[in-house]
Structure 1
C-alpha cells in the first residue's frame, strides 16, 4: 500500500499521520522539516523548504510505502526554462522544444522530458566512437602492453596483454543516457506511460555498459559529432548529479528525486547575467573566491563578480531564492552584501530575489556611502519578460550597457 503526501514548497507546515521511524528518516535525510506533534502521538508536522520533487520511504516488515511529493510554486514550464537556460542558454528551452506542460509535478515532467530527448537523440541510431580497451587476448590486436605482459605472464607467450581502440556504441555519451534512464525507472511517481517509453529506451541502449552506482560518471565534451545528444546529456546529468536522493536512515530506505530551487535560481540568474553582459568588454566569474579580511582567513564566494577591462572588480551580485519576511527582504542579506562591497572596494552591490512580498528597493549605508540594490524577478512571466528583467539588472550594474 502506498500513502501519498503532497506539500507545497515554502508553504505553512501541515500535520500528517506518520510512523515515527518515517518522520525521523525524512528529517535526517534533509528532505523537509519534520517534527513530531507533542500533543498527538503518531502525527508529524511537515514543512517543505526550497527542495522540490518526490521521495518514497519504505517501512521494513510492512507492505507500506510513504511517498512525499513537494510541489514547486513556480509553474513547471517556467521551472524547466530556468533549468534549461542555466544548462545551455543557446539550447531549445527558450523556444519550447522541450515540452512538459501536461505534467503538474516535477518528477513526471522531468521523466517525460528526459525520455523525449533521449528518443530524439537516438532517432538516427546510437552514436559510436572509439574507446580504449585493455584485455588479455590469444591474438595480438593493437599494441602489446609489454610491462603488463612481463608482470602478469612471466615470459609466457599467450595470452597477450594488449590495448587497442575499439569502435563501439559503448561510449561515455550512451552510458550517461542509460544511467539516467535506469535511475528514472527506480524513482517513485513516474507515470505508467512514461515508464513504458523509458523501458523502450533502455532496450535501445541494452548493449551499453551500466554505470556502477557510486563510481564517477563518464566524462564527455560537446563536439560536432555528438551535438544531437547535447540536450539529452544535459538532462541526464541533472538526474544523475544534481538532485538524486538515496539514503538509508534508521533502517529505512529513502529513494527519490529532489531539486534545490535555491541552486536553480542562483544558476539561472548568474548564467543569464553572464550571457547578457557578453560583449560588454567585461569578464564575469561565478562563485569567485575572495577574502573578507587582510589575513585571508575568512573566505567568501559571491555568486557573481563582474570585472572591468583593468581586471578590477566592477560589480557584485548575489541571488537569493527564499521566502521573504513579511515586511520585505531579510536584513541579513544586506549585511552580507555590505561585506562583499567593502572587501571588493565597490560602491554598489546587487541582491536578486525571486519576486514575493517586495519589489525593487535600494539602501545607502550610513557612514559608508555604499548603495545596495534589491531586485525582484517575477518567475511567473514568460521567458522573454524574465530575460528582460535580467537585462534591467545588468543595466543597473553597467549603466552604459546596450541590451
Structure 2
C-alpha cells in the first residue's frame, strides 16, 4: 500500500484516482472532527492533502497518509515527549538515535512496538492475579449460598446451587488494559516484525483475560498501582496511548484488519511536555507552579457582575504572598515563531494575562507573560504594552525550546540539572 507523507501544516498534491465512497466519507469526518486532516480531490486524478497540528497515520482503501512532526524533531522525539510528559519513563534504555526498522513508517508502529515489548516483559515476570467475586449456579456449594436467589429461581431444586465465591484469577483490569491495546496493535501495526510480535503477545494475553467493553477514555482513573502491579505502569501507558490515539468518535473503524485513524494532538503533547518540564525545573524552589489555573473574575459583565468567561493560562508561577507576591504567566504555543511571525492573537491574549494575573512583587517592572514555543534559541521577541501616557503596563517575552536538545539533556542527570537551572532563569528574568 502506498504511503503519502507530509509534515504538520504542510499541503501536498498526490496521485489519487477514483476515491471510494468510504474514503470520501472518512475524509469528510477527518476535517469535521476538529480539522484532523483536509483532503480535496482534484479533477486530474489527484488529491490535495493539508495537515494541521496532528501527527500520526490514516489508512484509506487505496493508501495511507502519514503526518510526521516537523517542529518536534521526528517521530521518536514525539514518543520521548509523550514518555516524559506522562511519567511512563519506559524509554530510559532506548538510545536517543535508535529507530524502529519499519521502512520509515509512522508513529503508531513505534507505540505498538513499545507496548508489545513491555507486555512481553510482564509475561516473563508473571502476570498479576487478584481475587474476584463471582456469582454463579454450580452443581456443588462453593463459598456461600445465595438463599434468596435460590428460593426465587430454583425453589425445591438441588441440582444447581446459587453461589457467591472468590476466584483468584488473571481476568482483571491490569491485564485487560494490555490485552485491548495488544489486540489493536496486532491489527494495526504496518511493519511485519512489529505486527508479528504484537500478535504473539496478544495471543498470550487473550488466554489470561477478556478486554471486551473496555473504555479507553476513562480507564486510567480506575488504575491504581501498588508494589504488586507497579511493573505494569509503563505497559499501561503505551496501551492507553495507542487506544486513545485511535479512539476518535466516528473515525474508529476496522478496514482490512487495521485501525483507520491514529493521531496525536501536538498542541496538547507540547503543552503537557512544557508543563512537566517547568514543574521539574522549579521543584524544591520557592516558586509554585500552577497548571491550568482557572480565573473567572478577570472578565465580568459591568452591569451584573457575572463572569463573562474563564481565563485559563497554561501555567501560573507564584512566589511569596501579599504585597510582595510575584506572579508570572507562561503559555505554551506549538507554533514556529520567527523574527516577525508572532501571531497577533497570541500577543493580545498573553498581554491580557500579564495585566490581569501578573504581579511583580517589590520590583518596578510591569507584569510579564512568557510564551514558550518550539524552535532554535536565538533572538526572542520582547514586546511591551503602553498606555497613551507612555507608561508600560505589561510585557511579553518569547522563549524558543529546542525539543530534541531538551530531550537529550533530560536523559542525562548532569545536563538535566543545568537545563532546569536555565529554565528557571529564563522564566524568572
Aligned partner of 2:299 in structure 1 is 293
Do the aligned residues in 1 keep the contact of 2:294 with 2:311 (CA within 8 Å)? Answer: yes
Q: Quick one: structure 1 residues 275 and 357, their matched pair in 2 at CA, closer, same or farther if it must change by over 3 Å? A: closer
Q: Quick one: structure 1 residues 391 and 121, their matched pair in 2 at CA, closer, same or farther if it must change by over 3 Å? A: farther
Q: Quick one: structure 1 residues 7 and 149, their matched pair in 2 at CA, closer, same or farther if it must change by over 3 Å? A: farther
The equivalences for 1:46-65 within 5 A come to: 46-58=49-61, 65=62
TM-fit CA distance, 1:258: 1.2
Q: Quick one: structure 1 residues 372 and 127, their matched pair in 2 at CA, closer, same or farther if it must change by over 3 Å? A: same
Q: Quick one: structure 1 residues 217 and 272, their matched pair in 2 at CA, closer, same or farther if it must change by over 3 Å? A: same
Q: Quick one: structure 1 residues 166 and 255, their matched pair in 2 at CA, closer, same or farther if it must change by over 3 Å? A: same
SS state of the match for residue 79, structure 1?
helix
TM-fit CA distance, 1:24: 5.2
TM-fit CA distance, 1:192: 0.8
Q: Which has the higher helix share?
A: 2
Map Cα deviations across residues 20-47 of structure 1 (whole Å, 9 max, x no partner): 542452242234122243xx35432111
Do the aligned residues in 2 keep the contact of 1:26 with 1:32 (CA within 8 Å)? Answer: yes
1:397 to 2:427 alignment: yes
SS state of the match for residue 166, structure 1?
strand
- Aligned-residue RMSD, C-alpha: 3.3
- Higher mean alpha-carbon deviation, 353-362 vs 121-130, is at 353-362
Consecutive unaligned residues of structure 1, counting only runs of 5 or more, are 59-64
1:217 to 2:237 alignment: no
1:381 to 2:382 alignment: no
Q: Quick one: structure 1 residues 108 and 251, their matched pair in 2 at CA, closer, same or farther if it must change by over 3 Å? A: closer
TM-fit CA distance, 1:214: 5.2
The equivalences for 1:155-170 within 5 A come to: 161-170=162-171
Do the aligned residues in 2 keep the contact of 1:313 with 1:344 (CA within 8 Å)? Answer: no
Map Cα deviations across residues 177-222 of structure 1 (whole Å, 9 max, x no partner): 11000111222x5211111111110122122112326575372112
Map Cα deviations across residues 135-190 of structure 1 (whole Å, 9 max, x no partner): 3445454455567667x538667655544432211111111111000111222x52
Aligned partner of 2:233 in structure 1 is 230
Give 1:322's match in structure 2, choosing from 335, 344, 353: 335
TM-fit CA distance, 1:268: 0.5
Aligned partner of 2:285 in structure 1 is 280
TM-fit CA distance, 1:116: 1.3
Q: Quick one: structure 1 residues 168 and 250, their matched pair in 2 at CA, closer, same or farther if it must change by over 3 Å? A: closer
SS state of the match for residue 47, structure 1?
strand
Give the paired residue count. 387
- Per the normalisation by structure 2, the TM-score is 0.78
TM-fit CA distance, 1:394: 2.8
Do the aligned residues in 2 keep the contact of 1:3 with 1:66 (CA within 8 Å)? Answer: yes
Aligned partner of 1:80 in structure 2 is 79
Aligned partner of 2:94 in structure 1 is 96
TM-fit CA distance, 1:340: 2.0
1:262 to 2:267 alignment: yes
TM-fit CA distance, 1:313: 7.5
Aligned partner of 1:61 in structure 2 is none
1:306 to 2:303 alignment: no
- Structure whose CA Rg is larger: 2
SS state of the match for residue 91, structure 2?
coil
SS state of the match for residue 267, structure 2?
helix
Q: Quick one: structure 1 residues 165 and 288, their matched pair in 2 at CA, closer, same or farther if it must change by over 3 Å? A: farther
